[in-house]
Amino acid sequence: MARPRAAALTEASLAHWPLPDPGPDGDKEARGQVLVIAGSAELPGAALLAGTAALRAGAGKLAIASPASIAPGLALAIPESRVIALPETRGGGIAARGCEALAPLAEKVAAVVIGPGLRDERGSMAFVRRLLPLFRGCTVLLDSIAMSVATQRAFDQPVLLTPHAGEMAHLSGLPKEAVAHDALAVACEAAMRWNACVVLKGASTVIATPQHRAWCFKGGSLGLATSGSGDVLAGLMGGFAARGLRPEHAAAWAVVVHAKAGKNLGRRVGPLGYLARELAAEVPGLIRQFAR
């Protein structure tokens, strides 16, 4: 088999995939709704980071579904969002029966982000397996332990997976060193095997599709390797997907904008020490800059 090749992903690349224009009279419905299913008692902030990023990417509406124990706090922390409290497993995850509360949203949302900050891998897998068929008509992004369902099935609906090297090692059974050594080949093989768009994150990030297309982004910075940064990236992808971009194009916009936000903060704050929560505020201005 021929060795896979990847196109370079740069800021200029985004001009090939312009964001849909809602028009001067477009309301929030025209920019799509995002459902973020995230958080746990230990990591409630992950839901906040992902949800805020989705709105900063320009999504029109946001709903957050989280374990019942943290839902009231999230509702206060992000008043722009509807917050749905879901039943919890004994391990602190979301119980599969929680899908019943989310089913009415299936015809309303354009993108779903599942996984930031979730706990209880086994319980979360049961929840995700039940949820996926309900949201067949939109882009679903699986992050963190929600990606574990990929070990059991290939997908038959639009799905984004966002592993870093360690997570890809867990999902694929390969040593972490092997993943890092040949990220392009690993991502391309995984995309075909799982029938999903795979965003393999790292110093260089690879985006691969089951249709044998791939891009490589090398514009990251050390400061982005910080707690919560991946949650922001997942939320950005969900926001761009809700606005109407294909999964791989939503991923490309998110990766480039996320990196540029980090560089902006690196110049103002310092190359290390800026916080993931500060990234999202950079996004609207960057979208305006790139959209030109």
d(CA 214, CA 207): 5
Tokens of 168: 């890809």
Give 159-175 pLDDT, tens digit per residue.
Answer: 999 999 999 999 999 99
Q: Which of these, 243, 284, 237, 238, lies nearest to 261 by C-alpha position?
A: 284
For the chain, counts of helices (H) and of strands (E): 10, 10
DSSP state of 145: G
Residue appearing with tokens 């989705």: 54
Give 200-254 pLDDT, tens digit per residue.
Answer: 999 899 999 999 999 999 988 899 999 999 999 999 999 999 999 999 999 999 9
Edge-to-edge strands of the sheet including 214-217? 7-8, 214-217, 205-208, 197-200, 159-161, 139-142, 111-114, 33-37, 61-67, 82-86
pLDDT of residue 2: 64
- Beta strand pairing call for 205-208 and 197-200: antiparallel
Tokens of 10: 């740069």
Query: What is the band of 23 on the pLDDT scale with cuts at 50, 70, 90?
Result: confident
Rounded-to-5 percentages of helix, strand, coil across the chain: 50, 15, 35
Give 100-150 pLDDT, tens digit per residue.
Answer: 999 999 999 999 999 999 999 999 999 999 999 999 999 999 999 999 999
Query: What is the band of 29 on the pLDDT scale with cuts at 50, 70, 90?
Result: confident
d(CA 113, CA 141): 5
Exposure b/e, 162-172, CB count within 10 A at least 16 = b:
bbbbebbbbbb
Amino acid at 123: G
Query: What is the band of 12 on the pLDDT scale with cuts at 50, 70, 90?
Result: very high
Query: All domains of the chain, ordered by start, with CATH?
Result: 28-291 (3.40.1190.20)
